[in-house]
Structures are given as C-alpha cells and as structure tokens.
Chain A
Amino acid sequence: MIPIEAVIGFGLIIFTIGLAGVLVRKNLVIMLMSLELLLNGVNIILAGLGRHLNSPRGSIFALFVIINAVSEAAVGFALVLAYFRHRKSYDTDSLNDLKG
C-alpha cells in the first residue's frame, strides 16, 4: 500500500514540473506538454485521495479532467498549428499582441 503522502508528493512534483514548463519555456509545443503535466499531476492527487478516502468521486473527477485535457489538447494543438502557419514559429516571444 503506497502511503498517501507519497502519492501527493509525487503529484505535486509532476505539477511543479508542469508549472515550471509553462512559465519558463518559450516553445508553444513544450508549453502545451507542460500543461498536460500540470493536469496529470492534479489527476494523480485526485485518484490517490479518492482511493485513500475510499470514495469513487476522486477517480470520477480525474476521468472528467482527462476528458477535458484531451479536448484541450486537441484545440490547443490546432491553435498552435494555426499560429505556426501564420508566424512560422513556435516562439511565444513573438506572441505579444495583447501588449498594452
């Protein structure tokens, strides 16, 4: 039986890696991958806690998140693709149209 602390710690580590990837990397594809990591980190914690508390809700919620992640990835990559066609680059530094 894996202790709950380990599961949470592992989830947090995955989450942190994802967060760092999103914040630090400038490549849009890498950022999207990091986003997946973020979600999966949360999923691990959700599933772990569900099992720890002996409730199916954690797993159910994790499933929803996976579905969301899939659709998010699909839309996200489509956007990235469109962006690439437009700018010939994945670099987010050129993506500052929202600058005030």
Chain B
Amino acid sequence: MNILGIPILTLVTFFPVAGMVVVLALPGSRTRAIKLAANIFTGLEFVATVLLLTRFDASSGDMQFLERVPWIKAIGAQYLLGVDGISLLLVLLTSLLTFIATLSSWQAVQKRLKEYYVFLLLLETGMIGVFLALDLLLFYVFWEVVLVPMYFLIGVWGGERKLYAAIKFFLYTLFGSVAMLVGILVLRSQHQTFDVLAMLAAGPVLPVALQSWVFLAFFLGFAIKVPMFPFHTWLPDAHVEAPTAGSVILAGVLLKMGTYGFLRFSMPLLPDAARRYAPAIVVLALVAIVYGALVSLMQKDMKKLIAYSSVSHMGFVMLGLFVLTPMAAKGAVLQMVNHGISTGALFLIVGIIYERRHTRLISEFGGLASRMPVYAAVFLIMTMSSIGLPGLNGFIGEFMILMGTFPVSWLWTAVAATGIVLGAGYMLWLYQRVMFGRLANPANESLKDLTLRELATFLPLIVLAFWIGIFPKPFLAVLDKPVEKIIRVVNPAHFEVPR
C-alpha cells in the first residue's frame, strides 16, 4: 500500500541513502554544508516516519503498507517490506535517535566529517531496513549493511582502543549473523521461500528437532546483538570506544535489532522451539539482569557503567519476551523503546562532559551539580527514567514485564525485581559520584552548563520519557494486536480458558 502513489516504506528506508548521495556530492571542505545536509536529511526522515504514523491503522495487527517486488527470482527472494505496530515504534525510535545523534555530532566530530555523515546515513537505512524487511534474505542484507558503517564509526572516530573494539564488535556480530544465515537457508529449504508472511501462513511445518537447530542458529545471531549474557562482552568495549553518536545509536537501536529478531522471526516462525528454549533463555535473561547490574557497580568509566546497565536492561526485555505472556511481551517491546530513550540520553549526557573534559572516568568528576544545574536536572531525569521511577517511561515497561511474569513464575519475578534494587544502587551511586559532593577537581571549575543546542537535543527525549510514563496508551495501543498475535502463535495455552 502506498501513500499518494509513493511507496512509502521504500521512501522511508532509502531516504537516508539519498542524503548520503548528497553528502558525497558535496566537497569535503564545505563542512557546514555537509553538517546541514546530514541534519536536514535525518530530520526529514524523522518527519517521514511520523507521517507514516498518521496513516497507520493501530487497530490492526497485520502488516501494513506492504510492498512486494520480485528481487532474485532464481532463489525466490523478494523485496518485501511491511510495517506493524512493533516495527513502527522501532522505526520511529531509529529515526528520532539518528536525528538526535546527528545533531549531537555538530561539534563533537571534527575529522573526516564527510565520511562520518555518510556512514551515519547509511547506518540509518540499514537499521530501518532491518525493522521493515519481511523477506529473510532482504532482512539479512540489511542486517549486514548495519554492521559495516558501525564498524567504521567505531574504528575511525573512536577512542584509544578503537581498533580492538571495532574488530571485536565486527567479529562477534559477524559470527552471529553467519549462524543466522545458515538458519535462514534452512528455513528457505523447508518453506521454498524467504517470505516471512508466507511462512507464517503455512504454519510451523518444520519438525521440532529441526526447529530447535534453526532456533539455535537464530539465537546466536540475535543473542549476540541483544547482547545476552554471556555474549555481551563486545558491548562495553564498543560503547566505550565509539563516538557519542555511535554509542547512542548502538545502545538505542542496534541492540533492539536482536530482540526484534527474536520477536519477529524466532518466536512465530519456530514456536515449538521457542517454547522449548524459553525457560533457558529466561534464566540467561535473569542472570543478565543481576549480573549486568553487579558488574555496573564496579565500573570506573561512565560509559562502561551505562553499557553494563544496558546488559541488565536488555535482560529485562528478554525476560519479558520469553515468559510468553502478552502483558510481559508488550512491556518488553515498550521497554525496548524506553531503553533507547533513557540509555541513548545517558550516553549523550556522558558525551557532553566528555566533550568538555576528554575523560569519562568517574573519579575525575564530582560536585558538578553546583556548576551545571541544568545538566544536573537532565541527568537526574534520565537516571530516574533508567531506574524505573513511576511517572517516567522506564516504570511502565518494567511493571508490565514483572506483572506479566508473575503468573508464570513468582521466583523469576523476584529475581528480576532485585535488578530494580541494584539498578537504583549503581545509577544513584554514579549520579552521586559525578554530580554531588564538593567540586574538588580544579579542572571541572570551568565547565559550562548545557548550551541551548544541547538542551534541544535532550528535549524530545525528556518529553518522551514523561509522555510514555504518564500516558503510554498511544504506544501500547499500536503494540496490542501485533504482539498478542505473536504470543498467540507461540503460547496458545496461555489463552485457553479451561472449563
């Protein structure tokens, strides 16, 4: 379906590529024009995704705006895009965070501007493509497209150990995605198509044993991306070394590709295997929640701390997905968005003082609240959002996940809830060490508070944090049908009403 004769999803997917071409065409010396072009294109892209929302039918759980064009006939691959509530939220998140990341790079990035923005725009196309593709091969292509620009963003514009981090990131995820490709090929051989919709319509034709193997192959690909314990160690390194915008996108969007993959492909396509492995995955998720929080406590580098907190938060998301109840799953998808908002903002927050002081070591700071009151307020709001204060976004997701988990197992709920206690611990400790106390380090005395431009980059995130916290209905409304549809496939027992 198109809007005004324009294939809207293709437009949304490839609009950043147009921006990329424009940036490429500009001479490298005209830095201002390059920055402007990149900002305008990512901004317009965000507008385009919002437009998508206006035509979206929230009452339907089906894929909308479908675009189907034969692609490689010989192997039956199609160019198949579609959007439902789950993808829609993630696409909106992607375009918003990319826009914010681009804005935040205005001063932070000085070298090789042109290439930087080219990669950023290419990355955006890849990410949006991942969330829209409904053909497994197409999905795989977008999945890999994401990898390359991110590799360069870390490897070229990163910190001291950027090469180590970039290569670790690349190899880790490539390893996972190769396993995933094998899984995709097995599915193709069984279904004779890459078309996910057709596979869903056909139902699970694979025998359970084969499903399990495919599930494990997919699991490797997605779990590394999430990242799930114990596949998470690329994340802290990548985060620490990546430039601010890279960290924002990495935490805000890239991690969601993993959980999205589980929800969109692993669960409905391989329901029997998903049911079989769900308890194991839940256990890993619980370990991640507690373990990530514990390791966070020990970090000396602010970015690393937040990176490990991501491990913990994504553990929550995985828990929500794999307890296989609609409430928890909806909470999990909302939590993906929440995590994008709060952790994205936290990375920006760290980026702000990194840009001013060129260090991220917690011990270098202290007492900043008296120098930077506005910054302190923004930091506080996002800290609270991250630890799930009711009234802010994080709470809704956590609450739904916990309440959705309880009927399945009170023990799982209890373990997950300890993550909430520990979360308050490491975040407040971080806040205290950075913001409170005496301003002891003379290097911090000349720190400037947020500029108007910086505040503007935070504003949409703050608004969203409150909006989702107070009135999450519009967000949950689009999720309701599609998530329930998937859970119905995976866990029909949950809906049966025994007589």
Chains A and B directly touch (beta carbon < 8 Å) = no
